[in-house]
């Protein structure tokens, strides 16, 4: 790995000169291929001139905690997938393969920070102390959310692709103004500064909402970190179709730093995110992080990835498993033993049992409620659609009664 290249913004007081910038790029080498990595796929810990300082602050307890978190959320993901296959959930969005990107970034945030997820950030939810069983209420169809965002500063899942990036920048601009007012009335600064983090995928990066969000974030120097989980597949479209250059390079066009990090390296992800959040909180403006990772499973349980990608590609990424590489490091460094890993497995099974039990205890969803909640007042088109649904449903009941006789 080459030295980490953190591009400066065009708003840091330095004179902009295209020729000087080009010369600097030539001297540093092409930054496109650079990616921050501290813990390699073989479990060997390397170094970085910028981010090793952050990694060195992680003690054995925190590293074990990273592993326990990743193992717990993978076990939760497996259980939720099984619940959907058994008809307990209408849909599920797996995250297996992306545990390091989510746990590393989530654990780098502070309680006062506010998180805007998409619909796959189950690991981030864990780090924000969201009861994981509450995530399943939406996917069972009994709630439009499932938890109160004010309790954890973790927003409700956003199913509309990239819409949350606009919400995040607006919220960050609000924080920015609130903190200016607070500074005027409280010069001592007793309230800690806050930042916002917005998650999205490589597919969502092509949405206009992301572009508009970054324009506003840059123009107003908003305290927001854009966290892109590049898992290589936007449903069936590969990331190579979404962009011809690393997604992190796009930040340069908006005038703020962009960093590509090995998204399967939980230590590097944590270090990069901690740096980015500090950058945002200190008034230096937004940052784009591209976590280079892989979705090992399906996009959702309604998807069949064998239709659009090769099993050899999946096998190559399984060799980069974020849990396996951290386990190798913990064992080699003498930071964890068999008893620890056995306890992690037992804790994961206990979590799965809790999630299964609470899901079965949820009320049976009534699709008629969706018709009732479409508009505040009754609407003739919705009434027509409900009548059709009632007739359609009655057909199954009649068929069942006929078969019984």
331 is catalytic: no
Identify any residues that bridge with 198 across adjacent strands, giving them in sequence order: 116, 226
C-alpha span between 248 and 208 (Å, rounded): 17
Sign of the alpha-carbon torsion through 118, 123, 125, 128: negative
Q: Provide DSSP, 231-286.
A: -SEETTEEHHHH-SS-GGGHHHHHTS-EEEEETT-HHHHHHHHHHHHHHHHTTS--
Per annotation, catalytic residue among 120, 140, 250, 299:
299
| Strand, coil or helix: 20 | helix
C-alpha span between 133 and 131 (Å, rounded): 5
Per annotation, catalytic residue among 107, 295, 325, 356:
295
308 is catalytic: yes
Phi and psi torsions of 242, nearest 5°:
-75, -35
C-alpha distances (whole Å) from 190 to each of 8, 62, 186 are 30, 27, 7
Instruction: Name which of 9, 2, 3, 1 is nearest 258 in CA terms.
Output: 9
The DSSP letter of residue 154 is B
Per annotation, catalytic residue among 308, 357, 368, 375:
308
C-alpha span between 77 and 62 (Å, rounded): 22
Instruction: Name which of 78, 115, 71, 116 is nearest 94 in CA terms.
Output: 78
Catalytically active residues, by annotation: 295, 299, 308
């Amino acid at each position: 790995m080459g030295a980490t290249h953190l591009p400066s913004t065009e708003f840091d007081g330095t004179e902009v000169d295209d020729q000087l910038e080009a010369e600097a790029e030539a001297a540093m080498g092409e930054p496109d291929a650079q990616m921050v990595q501290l813990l390699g796929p073989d479990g060997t810990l390397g170094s970085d001139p910028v981010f090793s300082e952050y990694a060195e602050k992680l003690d054995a307890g925190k590293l074990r905690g990273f592993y326990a978190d990743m193992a717990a959320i993978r076990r939760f993901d497996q259980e939720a997938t099984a619940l959907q296959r058994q008809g307990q959930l209408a849909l599920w969005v797996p995250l297996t393969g992306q545990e390091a990107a989510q746990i590393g970034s989530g654990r780098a945030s502070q309680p006062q920070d506010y998180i805007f997820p998409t619909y796959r950030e189950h690991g981030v939810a864990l780090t924000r102390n969201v009861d994981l069983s509450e995530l399943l209420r939406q996917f069972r169809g009994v709630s439009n959310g499932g938890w109160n965002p004010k309790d954890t500063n973790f927003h409700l899942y956003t199913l509309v692709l990239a819409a949350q990036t606009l919400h995040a920048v607006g919220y960050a601009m609000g924080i920015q103004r609130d903190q200016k007012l607070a500074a005027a009335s409280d010069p001592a600064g007793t309230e800690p500064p806050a930042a916002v983090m917005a998650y999205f995928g490589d597919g969502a990066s092509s949405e206009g909402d992301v572009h508009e969000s970054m324009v506003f974030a840059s123009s107003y120097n908003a305290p927001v970190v854009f966290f892109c989980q590049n898992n290589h597949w936007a449903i069936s479209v590969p990331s190579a179709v979404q962009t011809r250059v690393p997604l992190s390079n796009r930040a340069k066009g908006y005038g703020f730093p962009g960093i590509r990090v090995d998204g399967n390296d939980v230590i590097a992800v944590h270090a990069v995110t901690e740096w980015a959040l500090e950058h945002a909180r200190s008034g230096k403006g937004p940052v784009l992080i591209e976590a280079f990772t892989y979705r090992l499973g399906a996009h959702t349980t309604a998807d069949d990835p064998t239709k659009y990608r090769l099993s050899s590609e999946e096998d190559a990424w399984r060799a980069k498993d974020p849990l396996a590489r951290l386990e190798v490091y913990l064992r080699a460094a003498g930071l964890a033993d068999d008893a620890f890993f056995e306890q992690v497995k037992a804790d994961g099974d206990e979590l799965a049992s809790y999630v299964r039990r609470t899901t079965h205890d949820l009320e049976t969803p009534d699709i008629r409620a969706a018709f009732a909640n479409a508009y505040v007042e009754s609407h003739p088109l919705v009434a027509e659609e409900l009548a059709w649904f009632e007739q359609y449903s009655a057909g199954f009941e009649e068929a069942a009664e006929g078969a019984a006789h």
